[in-house]
A and B are shown apart, each in its own frame.
Chain A
Amino acid sequence: MEDESATNSHDSICPICLGPLTQDSYLDHCLHKFCFNCILRWTKVVSSKHQTPPSSVKCPLCKTDNFSIIYGLDGTSFQRHYINTNLQDCFVLSKGHRFRLQCYYTQQGFLEDIFNISLYWKSRKYNQPNNWLRTWLTREIQALTQEEDVDIIVHHISGVVKPLWTSKEQKLLTKEPEKIQEEFMMSVSEAARPFLGARTDRFVHEIQLFLASGLNIEAYDAVYIQRLGWSSPGVNTEVSQNELIDRTTVIPYLYIFDDDSDGNE
């Protein structure tokens, strides 16, 4: 806004290029602010000086060790770039994870004619335990948080789902299905929001979709993928249906995994 004013606070100036910040990013420990491209380039320079690239970078300003760059902050969610994701101890998303993450970039609701969520609640199918939910939750949350160890979150969320299947069955039968669904959505949302941020609402939708399908993960994925390739408004149309079905390709617009984003070197 007032970039030209000489007394402009140092807050909006990147210490590396000395220009106005573009794509504000923070180092995860000291929270010093840089342009995303500036700090990314610097971490690459530092890495290239070591035989085995270090998993941390010292802040150019305060020399604190930092392990990731936080960027794309929009008030409710953010992206995270780990300094060296090719290290063995780092978690790398599998194709399955990437596929699930990609689903979150599509428009909600294109599967509802196959997996009918409201029917699931109305017909009280929620009484039947779903043996695959835990595995599904693990993959889903790993994909969304890009962390490997999500046991605690999975435990937390499945703890919210389980009462549907067990203890309060009698009590649940006396309630309206809509009411039960509403309560379910509320409590899942509450449990997941601290970890999933802005993606929570979509997650609450996806978990119901999976439960409503009554399918195991393989079958569920197969149907999902087929529909994605068949008519999906949010998906890059350059990806052919075949590629999606055999899942051999990485979805191209998921650029956040692409490390070589600095074009002018």
Chain B
Amino acid sequence: MQASRARLFKEYKEVQREKTADPDIQLVCDDSNIFKWTALIKGPSETPFEGGIFQLAFSVPEHYPLQPPQVRFLTKIFHPNVHFKTGEICLDILKTAWSPAWTLQSVCRAIIALMAHPEPDSPLNCDSGNLLRSGDVKGYQSMARMYTRLAAMPKKG
């Protein structure tokens, strides 16, 4: 417990210090609980998520960083590896391939990379995965773009 707290404080300090280092990621720690974090990430360019701002919720376990944090999308997203209802993310580094050298910041980077490079063969969102697996890239992109507009962009006017 103490080890995870100490480590999270280090990450907090690092995030404060390098706020401008990665303009695509904005990590914020809960005011009252250092084990709860949220992040705002920018949808990567040249993807259907471009222009969207996506919110992630982190729940950090007691034995972090020996155990990976739990992360899910709070913003609705149409992506093969994200559960459409719960926002759960299927990403190896959050499960079996976790390494204690990852940080919350680098997990965000990995999620941005996953948005740009979906893995349709291990889908949590079967509709999305099936579109890509059947080769309907256009169909996937337009669905994904629609949900980006609906859920991840500030309302105009």
Chain A residues proximal to chain B, CB less than 8 Å: 6, 15-19, 38, 41-42, 45, 58, 60-61, 63, 264
Q: Bound complex: CA of A264 vs CA of B1, how far in Å?
A: 9
- For the complex, is B11 an interface residue (Cβ under 8 Å from A)? yes
B2 close to chain A: CB less than 8 A: yes
In this complex, what residue of A is CB-closest to B14? Answer: A18
Interface members, chain B 80-107 (any A CB < 8 Å):
99-101, 103
Q: How many residues of B contact A (CB 8 A)?
A: 16
Given A45-B67, A58-B99, output 14 extra A-B contacts at Cβ < 8 Å. A6-B17, A16-B100, A17-B3, A18-B7, A18-B10, A18-B103, A19-B6, A19-B10, A41-B66, A60-B100, A60-B101, A61-B99, A61-B101, A264-B2
Chain A residue contacts of B100, Cβ below 8 A: 15-16, 38, 42, 60
The 4 lowest CB-CB distance pairs between A and B, nearest first, are A18-B10, A60-B101, A60-B99, A15-B101
Which single residue of chain B is at the shortest CB-CB distance from A6? B17
Q: Is the CB of A16 within 8 A of B101?
A: yes
Residues from chain B with Cβ under 8 Å of A63 in the complex:
99
Closest to A17 in B: B7
> What are 17 A-B pairs at a CB distance below 8 A?
A6-B17, A15-B100, A15-B101, A16-B100, A17-B3, A17-B6, A17-B10, A18-B14, A41-B66, A42-B66, A42-B100, A45-B63, A45-B67, A58-B99, A60-B99, A61-B99, A264-B3
B8 vs chain A, min Cβ distance (A)? 9
Complex CA–CA separation, A15 to B101 (angstroms)? 5
**Chain B residues with Cβ under 8 A from A6's Cβ?**
17
- Determine the chain B residues whose CB is within 8 A of the CB of A61 once the complex forms: 99, 101
Of all chain A residues, the one with the shortest Cβ separation from B102 is A60
Flag if B11 contacts A18 (CB, 8 Å).
yes
Check if B65 is an interface residue, CB within 8 A of chain A: yes
Binary CB contact string for chain B from 91 to 131 against chain A (1 if under 8 A, 0 otherwise) = 00000000111010000000000000000000000000000
Q: Give Cα A41–Cα B63 distance, bound, in whole angstroms.
A: 10
For residue A99, give the distance in angstroms from its CB to the closest CB of chain B: 36
Query: A16 and B65: CB pair below 8 A?
Result: yes
Q: A42–B7 Cα gap in the complex (Å)?
A: 15
Residues of chain B lying within 8 A (CB to CB) of residue A58 = 99
Closest residue on chain B to residue A46 by CB atoms: B66
Contacts of A60 in B (CB 8 A): 99-101
A19-B63 Cα distance, complex, nearest whole Å: 16
Q: Which residues of A contact B67 (CB under 8 A)?
A: 45
- A58 to B, closest residue via Cβ: B99
Shortest Cβ distance from A13 into B: residue:
B10
Which residue of A is nearest B66, CB measured?
Answer: A45
Q: How far is the CB of B18 from chain A (nearest CB, A)?
A: 10
The CA-CA distance from A174 to B100 in the complex, in Å, is 66
Shortest CB distance A17–B (Å): 5
